[in-house]
Amino acid sequence: MSGVKTELHQLNTRLVWQGFKQLVPIAVFVIAFGIAFGLAATQAELSGSMIVVMSTLVFAGASQFAALELWGPQVPLFTLLITVFAINARHLLMGATLYPWLHHLSPAKRYSVMLVASDANWAMSIQAFSRGQPGFGLLLGGGLALWSFWVFGTWLGIYFGGAIQDPMSLGLDMVMGCFLLAMVVGGEKNLRMLLIWTIAAASSLMAYRYLPDNSHVLVGALAGGVVGLFWMEQSHEH
């Protein structure tokens, strides 16, 4: 059993490069979102260098778009922080689902791979683990592919983005959501994962119905993350 665990959580240059190449077709779509963000940020009167730095360091499309809505002469810092945290709270659930393999890594490697975690590479890494294959190459290599294409798309949006002013009209806003749903449906199927997703979904729906706008993202991620945290070792017992 220990040999299997070691194989699953291995991380090396070959696996990272394979993960990078495997996510390139998905990362191509990220360019469109990067273009849209670069254009929107330009219209919000941010400088080109600030826009590129934001995409390089933040790498979170939804929260970057939300930040633009709050941008102005006096940026409401607390509101901005809460908004960004709420939108990205799903990463708590991502970390919880990956914990059975993450805790084998050193802290440096653990936080390095999670630094570029996003919906697509997380979903593909979970699917790889469920098939009994190493998944961290997909998580890190795929994350680097998505990140680099996002930054490139942002740069294109600053200089050449006028041709795609409304990606929603082309249906591009649905690509990542549909891809994530397909990966989750095809991913690991056991009682732990079912319970995590059921509680996360139910909590999110209740929060969407009764709590303030956008709080459902935070509530759903926290609820699913807590369940994953308290049931994190179950996968090692089978």
Report phi then psi at 131, rounded to 5: -90, 0
Dig out the tokens for 92 from the structure. Answer: 């708590």
Per-residue pLDDT of the chain (238 residues; tens, 9 = 90+): 344 444 778 888 999 999 999 999 988 888 888 888 888 888 777 888 889 999 999 888 777 887 777 776 676 677 778 777 777 877 888 888 898 888 888 888 888 899 999 888 998 999 899 888 888 999 999 999 999 999 999 999 888 755 555 655 655 555 545 545 555 555 556 677 778 778 888 888 888 888 776 567 667 767 776 777 676 544 443 4
Please, what sign has the CA dihedral across residues 175, 181, 187, 192? positive
pTM over 0.75, yes/no:
no
- DSSP-assigned letters across all residues of 147-186: HHHHHHHHHHHHHHGGG-S-GGGGTGGGHHHHHHHHHHHT
